[in-house]
């Protein structure tokens, strides 16, 4: 497990600058308002304590802090976290960032009102453990919001993904090899996610594809692959 975690971390270190550039395009463009609207509609009322898991370049940290919430972002990639800190400063926002494994959270039980993640679970070696941890740190009545895509049977060398043409072939090959080594790639998603989250005590709603809602910019490269959204409320 340690070797695959290190391999994933190294991959995202290599992608960090280009990834951050795209996220800044989203923040500065039409996508930001679209993401703002869909997330705000699914947040509990009040000023919230939010954990942004796999914060990457800090897109959600910027968005949620601008909505007035207290945001903690975690990521395994030091270079991604460096980009997140740059972006949170550039957009005059505040958030805390820590290097941390999404599958082994260093927070007490029932710490957060919301756990949010985007395009992370498809890269995790143990999504079952990650979901258990996210459930653990949520307060009763708290909300898990997970945006992800079903990349399991995709080949990044062949698919017209956002990385195609933006990332060197050797990195696409590495991404394919990592993805194909992960158990989550064998599951039918988001059906598998929904079924498992229900066993943890979540009440679930799901949108099969929000890409048409949040992909509004004419300059940002997008995947043609559906972007599903899981909204899960912790009942027990």
Q: What is the chain's mean pLDDT, rounded? A: 93
Better-scored residue on pLDDT, 118 or 169 = 118
pLDDT band at 2, cuts 50/70/90? Answer: low
Q: Pick from 231, 179, 234: which is nearest to 42 by CA?
A: 231
pLDDT band at 169, cuts 50/70/90? Answer: confident
pTM over 0.85: yes
- pLDDT tens by residue, 88-142: 999 999 999 999 999 999 999 999 999 999 999 999 999 999 999 999 999 999 9
Q: Looking at residues 210-235, what average pLDDT do you find?
A: 93
Q: Judge residue 188's burial from the number of C-beta atoms within 10 Å of its C-beta, 0-12 exposed, 13-18 middle, 19 or more buried.
A: exposed
pLDDT at residue 159 in the model: 58
pLDDT at residue 160 in the model: 53
Q: Looking at residues 184-196, what average pLDDT do you find?
A: 97
- pLDDT tens by residue, 19-65: 999 999 999 999 999 999 999 999 999 999 999 999 999 999 999 99
pLDDT band at 166, cuts 50/70/90? Answer: low
Q: Judge residue 86's burial from the number of C-beta atoms within 10 Å of its C-beta, 0-12 exposed, 13-18 middle, 19 or more buried.
A: middle
Q: What share of the chain is helix, strand, coil (3-state, %, to 5)?
A: 45, 20, 35
| pLDDT at residue 164 greater than cutoff 50 | no
The one-character DSSP state at 188 is -
């Amino acid at each position: 497990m340690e070797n695959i975690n290190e391999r994933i971390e190294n991959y995202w270190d290599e992608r960090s600058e280009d990834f951050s550039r795209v996220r800044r395009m989203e923040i500065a463009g039409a996508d930001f308002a679209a993401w703002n609207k869909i997330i705000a509609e699914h947040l509990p009322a009040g000023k919230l304590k939010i954990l942004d898991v796999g914060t990457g370049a800090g897109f959600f940290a910027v968005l949620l802090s601008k909505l007035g919430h207290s945001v903690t972002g975690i990521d395994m990639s030091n270079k991604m976290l460096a980009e997140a800190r740059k972006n949170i400063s550039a957009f005059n926002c505040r958030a805390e960032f820590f290097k941390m494994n999404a599958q082994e959270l260093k927070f007490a039980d029932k710490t957060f009102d919301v756990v949010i993640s985007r395009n992370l679970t498809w890269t995790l070696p143990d999504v079952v453990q990650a979901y258990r941890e996210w459930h653990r740190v949520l307060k009763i009545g708290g909300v898990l919001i997970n945006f992800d895509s079903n990349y399991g049977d995709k080949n990044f060398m062949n698919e017209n993904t956002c990385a195609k043409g933006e990332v060197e072939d050797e990195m696409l090959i590495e991404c394919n090899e990592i993805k194909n080594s992960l158990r989550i790639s064998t599951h039918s998603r988001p059906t598998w996610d929904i079924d498992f989250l229900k066993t943890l005590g979540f009440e679930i709603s799901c949108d099969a594809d929000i890409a048409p809602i949040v992909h509004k910019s004419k300059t940002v490269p997008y995947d043609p692959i559906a972007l599903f959204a899981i909204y899960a409320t912790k009942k027990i």
